[in-house]
Structure 1
C-alpha cells in the first residue's frame, strides 16, 4: 500500500514492453487494488471530442500511408515502361503528397493527444496534491517521502504514455494491420497466404528471444542496484567509519568483488541476448521477403504477377511486422497502464483523517481571546494503546501553560491537538468555547501559531520564507517580526540582506538562527494562541534568555502553551502541567509544585528539567 517505495521500472521502459509478459509487480498491484475502466474513462470524458479527432486522424494517416505501395506499383508497371512522363510526374507528386499529408496529420495528432494527456495529468496531479495536503501527519509519518513523490511525479508523468503511446499505438497498429492485410490480399491473395504462414513462427521466435533478454536484463538491474547500495553504504563517511571501527572492510570488499564479478557475466549475457534479438529480427526481415520472392518465381504461386505488384507487396509486408508485434504486446501495455492508474487512485482514495467541517464555525482571528480548554481528552495513534487519557486543562486567554514530563509522556501529542495536527480520539479541544474540529482549517491556522524544534525552511530567500506565513505582509512588518525574534541583525549583516537565499533546508544559517527565523515567521501571523514545542532547544544560553525575554513581552497579549526540558523556559509559566503516561498528574506553579515534592520536584532534581548552564 502506501508505505512501500517504488523501485520498479516505468511502463515505458524497454524491458517491460519487450518482455511480452506483464510485469509481476503490475499484476500484484492490480490484484491488490483493481481499477474500474469506467472510472478511467471519466477522466477523459471532458476531452472525448478531441480524442475522437485523434482516433480519426490516426486511421486517416494509416490509410493514406497505404497508398504508397500502390503508387510504386504504377510507377514500375506503367509510368517507367511506357516512358509516360506526365503519369510519372503525377505519381511522384502523389507520393510526395502522401508523405506530406501523413507528416502533417502526425504533427496534429501528436499535438492533440499530448494536449489531452497533459490536461488529464494536470488535473490528476493537482487533485492528488490537494488531497495529500489534507492528510494527517500520521500518513506522512508512516509513508516514505520518495513514495509520495513517485506517485505525484513518476506515475502521473508516465500516464502520458497511456494517451500518446498505448491508446494511440493500439488504434494505429489495428488500422495498419487490417489495412495492410486487405491491401496485400488485393495485390495477391496467393502471396498474402504465404505471408500469413511465415509470419507467426517468425513473430514467436522474436518474442522468445525478447523474453530471454528481458529476464537477463532484470537480473542485471537487480545486481546493479546491489552494487550501488554497497557503494553508498561502504564509501559514505558514516559507512567508512562503521566499517573501520568494526573491522568490516575485508568483508565489504569481498562482497563488492562478488557482486562486481556477477555483473561481468550478466553484462556479457545481456549484450549477447540483445545481439541475438537484433540478429533474429534481421533474419525475419530477410526471410519473409525471401520466401515471397521465391513464391513469386513459381508459376503456380505467382499468378502472372508483375514486378510492380511484387515490389508493392514487399513494401506492404515490411510494414506489417512491427504493428503486429505491437498488437501482441497490447496486454502488457494495458496492464502497465492500469497499474499506473491503480497506484494513483490508491492515493486519491485515501480517507482524510482530519477533514474540513461541513458547516464551519466562523471565528475572526483578530477578535479571538485565546482561551484554550481540554475537556476529558484522550488520544491513541493505533486505536489500542492510549497516548493521552482523561486530560482536563484550562488555559485562560493570555495565560501560559507549560507541559513537562519524561520523553513519551504525551506532551507534544497534547499540544498538537490545538492546531489539529491530530484529532482527539475522545473529548474535545476548545478555543474560545468552539471545538477546533468545527473551525475551518484556514481560520484555525490564523488563530494558532506553532513553532517546533524541527525547523523547516524552504530553498528561497529569507523574505519569501517569512512571507510564506503571511503573503500580504509588508517589508516593515517582516523586519519588525525579525527584530522581535532577535534575528534582524544577523540578516542585515548578510550581503543580500532579506533577499539572501537560505539554501536547502536553511543550511546557510545555524540551528539557533533557523529557530529564530521560525519564531519570526510565526510572530508575523500574530496568532492569538502560540504553541512552542521545544522552540528554543537549539539556542545558546544567551540567545535563549533574549528570546525568552522577547516571548515574555509577546505572550502577554496571547495564550501560550510551551513544551520544554529547560527550567528557564517553564518556571515563569502561569501553570505547569506534569504529564506521566498520558495523564496530568500534577498541576500548579513552579513554586507550588516544588513545595508539593512530587514528580515535578523529582524532574528538577534529576536534571530532566534543568537549567542550560547546569546541563
Structure 2
C-alpha cells in the first residue's frame, strides 16, 4: 500500500479517480446532429431494460478463479494491516525518538518504516500479477465464447448487422469491461479492509477527531454519484460516435470501399463524413473532461477544510494530544479517503459498464437461427451417394412472403441439375438451403434421404461444396488458402488441385509460387483467377455434392471459358446444382429446372424444355431479345451491356 497522502493531495487524486472510464466502445448509433445529448438515448435505455445485467451472471465470471481471489484477498489484508503501522511509527519518531535524541530507537523506527514500505510494495507486485492474470483469463473466456457463439449465427444475422457493430462488441466492449473485471473483486477487498482498519486506528488515536474527520464522507458520496451519472451519459454518446467512425473506416479504407470511392468519386464525401465525426468527438471529450468540474472543486475545498479543523481542534485549550498523535491522525485521515474513493470508483465503473455488459450478454444470449442437431445422423462423407431431394420446400426471409413455395425437385446422384429463372425467382436461395446457409421454413432438403438439419455441420461442410460468384480468399499465401480445405495436404496434392482448376501454370510462373500473398480478399488476382483458386480449394475438399452459384456470371467470355473448364472438371462424378444466369452454361446439364416467382415452373432436359414452348423457351426468347438490343447499341455501351448482371434478389 502506498505511503499515506496529505489531505491536500486527496482532492486532486479523487478527481482523477472519478475521471476514469472503462475502455471506450465503438458501437451503437451516432448522433448526426453534431451535439451529443447529455442523456442516454431511449434506444440504449431500452436495450439495457431488455437485457438487464444480472449480478449473479457477472459474479459467475470469477467462479473459476476462487483460489486466486482468496490468495489475493489475504495479500490485500496483510498489506492493509502492515501499512497501518506507518502513522504509529511516525508518532513514535516525533513524540519520543526525536525529543529524547534516542538514536537507537530512531534507527529502529526508521528501519521499520522502510521495511513496511518494502513489504507493501512487494505484496503489491504479487497482487498486481495475480489480478492481471485473472482479469486477462476472464477477458479471454469472454472473447472466445462470443467469437464462437457469433460463428453459429446464420447469414441473416450478419446481413442485418453492421460489421463494425460485431467487431466493436467483440473487441471494444470486452476491452471496456477490463478495468471492472480486473479490479472488482480485489478492489472491494482492498478498499474495505483498508477503510475499516484505518477507521479503527483513527478511533484508537482520538475518537473525537475521528468523528470530525469522517463528516466528509456523505458529501463525497453525493458529489461522486452525480459526477458518475453525468459522465456515464457522455461516455455512452462517445461510444456511439466512435462506432460511426469505425464504420466509416470499414467502408472507406477496405479494398472494396476504396475501389468504390475512387470509381464513384466519393473520396471527398467520405473524408468529410469522417472529419465531421471526429469533430463531434472533440466536443464530447471536452464535455467528458469538464463534467462535474465545479462539484469536484467543492470537494477539494471540503478535503482541505478537514485537516485545518483537525489542527484547530488539536490546538484548543485543554487538548492533551501530542504533536505526533495529531500528525499521525492527519496521515490516517488522508489515508481513509483513498479506499473510500476507490469504492466509489468501483461504483462509477460499474454504472458506466452496465451498457457494455448488456451488449455482450445480449449477443451471447442470441439463439442461432440455424442450430446443430442434438443427435446427428452418423454419415461418412466419402461413402455418400449424393442424391439430393427438395421436398415441398417453402422459405421466407424473416416474416416476409414466401421466396420459395412448395419446391419438389430431385437431383439424382452424380448428375448435374441447372436452375434458371428471371431475377428474383429464388435461384440462389434454393442453392443456399443445401449447405444450410438458410433453413427451410417448411418441408425439407435431404441428402441420401437424410434431412440436412440432422447432419452435423462439420460433416455437411465436407459433403457439400459451394463455389459462388464472389469467391473469398483470406489475406494469406496461396498455400494457406488451399490448406483451409485440406490442412494435411502435401505440395503434390496442392499442385494437382491447381492443375484441375486450370491455374497451376499461372501459380508456377509467380516468383514465390505457392507462397505468393493473395492480398486482401484476393485482390492481387483477377476475378477469374480468384475463382479458379477457390475452385482448387473446393477440389481439395472433395465434396460429394456441389453447388455452383452463378460462379461465372461476372466474368468476361474468355475468362468464363477457362473457369467453366475448371468447373466441368470439378463436377465430374459429383451431384451438382448449378445456379445459372447465362443460359449458354446450362446446355450440357442432365436436368434443367426453371423457377418463376419462387415456384417450380418446369423440369426436364435442356433440349426437351427448349422445344416445349414453356417457361424455359420464353426465358430464352427474352434473353435473345436482350442480346439483340445490346448488339444495336454503340460499341462503347455494348461492351458494358454484354457483361451486365441483373440486379436485385437472385
| TM bucket normalised to smaller | 0.7 to 0.9
Match of 2:141 among 106, 120, 123: 123
Bigger Cα displacement from structure 2, 321-330 vs 507-516: 321-330
CA distance in 2, matches of 1:553, 1:269: 64
Residue of structure 1 in register with 2:5 after alignment: none
The two structures have a TM-score, normalised by structure 2, of: 0.81
Residue of structure 2 in register with 1:529 after alignment: 545
Residue of structure 2 in register with 1:55 after alignment: 73
Residue of structure 1 in register with 2:22 after alignment: 12
SS of the residue aligned with 2:546? strand
CA 1:406 to 1:458, structure 2 compared with 1: closer, same or farther past 3 Å? same
Matches within 5 A, 1:358-437: 358-437=374-453
Matches within 5 A, 1:447-458: 447-458=463-474
CA distance in 2, matches of 1:268, 1:367: 66
CA distance in 2, matches of 1:217, 1:363: 52
Q: CA deviation at 1:290?
A: 1.8
Residue of structure 1 in register with 2:107 after alignment: 89
Bigger Cα displacement from structure 2, 264-273 vs 409-418: 264-273
Residue of structure 2 in register with 1:328 after alignment: 344
Please list the CA deviations of residues 204-233 of structure 1 after superposition, one character each: whole Å capped at 9, or x if unmatched.
557667777777888889899999999999
Residue of structure 2 in register with 1:106 after alignment: 124
Matched, 1:308 2:316: no
Q: CA deviation at 1:375?
A: 1.5
CA distance in 2, matches of 1:318, 1:517: 69
Residue of structure 1 in register with 2:370 after alignment: 354
CA distance in 2, matches of 1:299, 1:480: 101
Residue of structure 2 in register with 1:490 after alignment: 506
Q: CA deviation at 1:463?
A: 0.4
SS of the residue aligned with 2:166? helix
Residue of structure 2 in register with 1:514 after alignment: 530
CA 1:610 to 1:358, structure 2 compared with 1: closer, same or farther past 3 Å? farther
CA 1:458 to 1:107, structure 2 compared with 1: closer, same or farther past 3 Å? same
Matched, 1:592 2:602: no
The two structures have a TM-score, normalised by structure 1, of: 0.86
CA 1:92 to 1:27, structure 2 compared with 1: closer, same or farther past 3 Å? farther
CA distance in 1, matches of 2:426, 2:273: 47
CA distance in 1, matches of 2:91, 2:48: 49
SS of the residue aligned with 2:389? strand
Residue of structure 2 in register with 1:33 after alignment: 51
SS of the residue aligned with 2:61? helix
Matched, 1:151 2:169: yes
SS of the residue aligned with 1:162? helix
Instruction: Please tell me whether the aligned partners of residues 389 and 409 of structure 2 are also in contact (alpha carbons under 8 angstroms).
Output: yes
Match of 2:479 among 454, 463, 476: 463
CA 1:214 to 1:469, structure 2 compared with 1: closer, same or farther past 3 Å? closer
Q: How many correspondences in the alignment? A: 595
SS of the residue aligned with 2:419? strand
CA distance in 1, matches of 2:380, 2:400: 37
Q: CA deviation at 1:77?
A: 0.9
SS of the residue aligned with 2:62? helix
Instruction: Please tell me whether the aligned partners of residues 184 and 317 of structure 1 are also in contact (alpha carbons under 8 angstroms).
Output: yes
SS of the residue aligned with 1:554? helix
Q: CA deviation at 1:384?
A: 4.8
Q: CA deviation at 1:162?
A: 2.9
Match of 1:192 among 210, 222, 233: 210
CA distance in 1, matches of 2:240, 2:98: 59
SS of the residue aligned with 1:524? helix
Please list the CA deviations of residues 11-53 of structure 1 after superposition, one character each: whole Å capped at 9, or x if unmatched.
51599xxxxx997787654421123333333332232122122
CA 1:167 to 1:271, structure 2 compared with 1: closer, same or farther past 3 Å? closer
CA distance in 2, matches of 1:228, 1:341: 20
Residue of structure 2 in register with 1:173 after alignment: 191
CA distance in 2, matches of 1:233, 1:142: 16
CA distance in 1, matches of 2:564, 2:264: 41
Instruction: Please tell me whether the aligned partners of residues 39 and 233 of structure 2 are also in contact (alpha carbons under 8 angstroms).
Output: no
Matches within 5 A, 1:73-88: 73-88=91-106
Instruction: Please tell me whether the aligned partners of residues 209 and 276 of structure 1 are also in contact (alpha carbons under 8 angstroms).
Output: no
CA distance in 1, matches of 2:158, 2:550: 21
Match of 2:623 among 589, 607, 613: 607
Measured on the aligned residues, the alpha-carbon RMSD in Å equals: 3.9
SS of the residue aligned with 1:532? strand
Instruction: Please tell me whether the aligned partners of residues 603 and 609 of structure 1 are also in contact (alpha carbons under 8 angstroms).
Output: no
CA distance in 2, matches of 1:480, 1:550: 12
CA distance in 2, matches of 1:212, 1:363: 59
Residue of structure 1 in register with 2:648 after alignment: none
SS of the residue aligned with 1:80? helix
Query: Could you list the runs of 5+ residues in structure 2 that have no partner in the other structure?
Result: 1-18, 26-37, 628-638, 644-650
Match of 1:42 among 42, 60, 80: 60
Matched, 1:474 2:503: no
CA distance in 2, matches of 1:203, 1:50: 31
CA distance in 1, matches of 2:149, 2:449: 29
Instruction: Please tell me whether the aligned partners of residues 393 and 441 of structure 2 are also in contact (alpha carbons under 8 angstroms).
Output: yes
Instruction: Please tell me whether the aligned partners of residues 386 and 574 of structure 2 are also in contact (alpha carbons under 8 angstroms).
Output: yes
